[in-house]
Structure 1
């Protein structure tokens, strides 16, 4: 069903309120904007599939009641971007929800398995993907586009039932509760422009003093990109920010020595950026940010990481869980260096499967050895 007016949309939502599930996907474009431009919403209930044209609707907020209906399970695959768009366009986040990509990692699939691969594995269906890079903003949509869009939700209810059954059989369904709670938390999608500098490419090249300047410039760029609704790199690239701060540019002439900067910034904007860099460089050291990466004065933990990875790989294989889902490399490195707070590896089911053992290994209470081709884990007195 193709929905292109408000009355049809409201009627569908009312019917969906009585469904057990609501599968959701979106098609959007953001190549030329800061905020994603929502072009299509695909919805599937127990017995209906709807392709919703947001360009033809007056109020997407009509979707909110079913999103907040606790009796309807909302289904996604790799839904973080969809959820971000829904929060911005509808004003609420769905709850409860189930993400098949997140769940798949607890059933032996790779951590970021794609939708088509999971549909083939769980339903035995090979999807056509000829419209993956289509222009969803153009109208009218072709039949192949509509078919592609519908396929993105039509198999989600079937996969949900199969995967839910498998997880219940393994007593793992509750393991996903914290992950899904986080996806339903609006704070996850809040933009903190003051932290954007940490994600700059090559930011590790900067000293703490220069990092303070990068924090200010990246924050300015974020707000400017939002104001203009253009991609960040159209205001200034990551490389340009890092180079300008590495040069410690205190004048417009010095700033424009960075390749391409004079073409991107007006004189007024360049003056603002230079002022931010200068103020940050002259600020007292106790205001400089700490780098994310461990400094040179921290101990090398390569040997510990090798042993930890061997143990994680063993427990991941035994439990049919993707290695990166069980333990990320960053978490392993932080644990090896003595950190214990705010680490997923040391929380919930991950701690039960391998986290406690890793702590015991680092404390010398476990030993690893080879028994033929098998890794043996033994507790030491």
Structure 2
């Protein structure tokens, strides 16, 4: 098990990787105590059973990741990950780069009949016909030295990945669903996926209150929390949790003494620099001009859902998902089916590969151009 700790070693390995068709990668990181993930380890493996697999340790020695980012930009080499979202966020935040071309075995497995968000261990067992020792999964990857068990666990995340990638790539060639995977990967390599603007942070907070003034205070508190957490690299919850934020938006303290009466604000949030920011945010929300206040989504005339049609769409979705071997929720969530049954057409399941897999027939069903019939447990589509 070779561990790379210098830029020169990393550059040499990345040059070797450029000679092959693909390289498998994974990371170990910590995020419990920070806003941004702390990169602790990178695992990489070259193709083939005899291809070298290495650990890259960014916490030891004098190491720049520039050679890795250069490899990411080399479009002649496929970069293979499993469940890549968090890995990609780390590299985008630290290096401003996405690996291209990218292959995510979790996404590929979804469209090849393995269900939603299939785990790596499942693919190792079913495709690579091997087992995994997961005892090191939740260890502290920032502590040094790493144990032999940690290193073996980390390397297994990229060595079995080679077999999984080659098998899934072969399946995609057979079933012609490569474009489906590409559509999903486009989301993963969109900077907007990893960019949280403080002005929009309030939209993630669930509240049933529709008062514009209340929402104005929520918006300002969420903006302060997000800005502070990003600047100080601490989790949002260390500044204040959502329940405390909503409490403060309701009680609207204006002094440190009043803020001290909060039932839900934790000790961290009572520190002077945070307490002052909270009070300033509340004041800004209270004084916000009416025309600048956030507005809840209008309740205006919601389209009426045709319940019978929604039920038929669910039957159609079940038939389609079974014939394609793709999880129903990956094709169309229940909310999309209700929206279609209500006459709405701007839904994700009527776009891209989902339209091809389900949406076209869903629209035909709505127009009365097809019907559904049952024969035993089989659902059939009948053209009218």
Assess, with a 3 A threshold, how the Cα gap between structure 1 residues 290 and 206 changes in structure 2: closer, same or farther.
closer
| CA distance in 2 between partners of 1:301 and 1:98 (Å) | 39
Structure 1: unaligned runs, 5 residues or longer: none
Aligned positions of 1:120-139 closer than 5 A: 120-139=125-144
Superposition deviation, residue 272 in structure 1: 3.5
Q: Is the 8 A contact 1:61 1:89 kept in 2?
A: no
- Report which stretch shifted further, 67-76 or 366-375: 366-375
Q: Is the 8 A contact 2:239 2:274 kept in 1?
A: no
Superposition deviation, residue 329 in structure 1: 3.3
The answer to whether 1:183 aligns with 2:188 is: yes
Q: Is the 8 A contact 2:240 2:266 kept in 1?
A: no
Alignment correspondent of 1:37: 38
| CA distance in 1 between partners of 2:256 and 2:284 (Å) | 14
| CA distance in 1 between partners of 2:266 and 2:141 (Å) | 34
The answer to whether 1:217 aligns with 2:221 is: yes
Aligned partner of 1:90 among 87, 91, 95: 95
TM-score, reference length from structure 1: 0.90
| CA distance in 2 between partners of 1:363 and 1:254 (Å) | 60
| CA distance in 1 between partners of 2:112 and 2:273 (Å) | 55
- Report which stretch shifted further, 124-133 or 306-315: 306-315
| CA distance in 1 between partners of 2:110 and 2:365 (Å) | 25
Alignment correspondent of 1:231: 235
Superposition deviation, residue 235 in structure 1: 0.4
Q: Secondary structure at the match of 2:127?
A: helix
Once the two structures are superposed, residues 173-229 of structure 1 have per-residue CA deviations (whole angstroms, 9 ceiling, x without a partner) of 1221122223223332222222222222x4234544422321221111011011211
TM-score, reference length from structure 2: 0.89
The answer to whether 1:113 aligns with 2:118 is: yes
| CA distance in 1 between partners of 2:264 and 2:98 (Å) | 40
Q: Is the 8 A contact 2:220 2:284 kept in 1?
A: no
Aligned positions of 1:277-296 closer than 5 A: 277-291=282-296, 295=299
> How many aligned residue pairs are there?
377
Aligned partner of 1:157 among 151, 154, 162: 162
| CA distance in 1 between partners of 2:64 and 2:314 (Å) | 50
Structure 2: unaligned runs, 5 residues or longer: none
Superposition deviation, residue 296 in structure 1: 8.3
RMSD of aligned alpha carbons: 2.5
| CA distance in 1 between partners of 2:320 and 2:326 (Å) | 8
| CA distance in 2 between partners of 1:139 and 1:18 (Å) | 32
The answer to whether 1:63 aligns with 2:68 is: yes
